[in-house]
Amino acid sequence: MGRIIHVELTATDLDLAATFYAEAFGWQATPSPFVDGYLVAETGAGAGIDGAIMKRDYQDQPAIIWLQVDNLDATRAAVSAASGTADHEPQEIPGVGRVAYVRDPEGVLLGLRQPA
Q: Sorting pLDDT into bands at 50, 70 and 90, what band is 1? A: low
d(CA 45, CA 52): 16
Q: For residues 87 and 79, is the Cβ–Cβ distance under 8 A? A: no
d(CA 92, CA 78): 20
Residue 46 has phi, psi (to 5 degrees) of 95, -170
Residues 6+ away with beta carbon under 8 Å from 67: 2, 3, 4, 5, 110, 111, 112, 113
pTM: 0.86
pLDDT at residue 88 above 90? no
Looking at residues 95-114, what average pLDDT do you find?
95
Q: Around 17, how many Cα atoms within 13 Å sit in the side-chain half-sphere?
A: 22
Q: Compare 2 and 5 and report the one with higher pLDDT.
A: 5
Domains of the chain: 1-59 (3.10.180.10), 69-116 (3.10.180.10)
Alpha carbon 52 to its chain's center:
7
